[in-house]
Amino acid sequence: MKKILIIDDDPAIRIYLTNLLNDQGYATAVAEDAEKALDLVSSAAFDLITLDLDMPGEWGTRFFSRLAQDKQKKNIPVIVISGMAGNEYAIPKAVASLTKPFDQKELLKIVRDVLK
Per-residue pLDDT tens over the stretch 61-113: 999 999 999 998 999 999 999 988 777 777 889 999 999 999 999 999 999 99
Entry pTM: 0.94
Question: What residue ranges define each of the domains in the chain, with the CATH number in brackets?
Answer: 3-115 (3.40.50.2300)
- State phi, psi for 6 to the nearest 5 degrees: -105, 120
CA distance 112 to 114: 6
The alpha carbon torsion through 71, 74, 76, 79 (nearest 10 deg) reads 170
- The sheet with strand 48-51 has its strands ordered as 27-31, 3-7, 48-51, 78-82, 96-99
pLDDT, mean over the chain: 93
pLDDT at 41: 96
Asked whether 38 and 66 are in contact (CB, 8 A), the reply is yes
Contacts of 9 (CB under 8 A, 6+ apart): 32, 33, 52, 54, 55, 56
**The pLDDT of residue 7 is above 90:** yes
The band of 15, judged by pLDDT with boundaries at 50, 70 and 90, is very high
d(CA 82, CA 84): 5
**DSSP 8-class letter at 5:** E
pLDDT above 90: residue 51: yes
* Helix axes 104-115 and 11-23, enclosed angle (nearest 10): 60
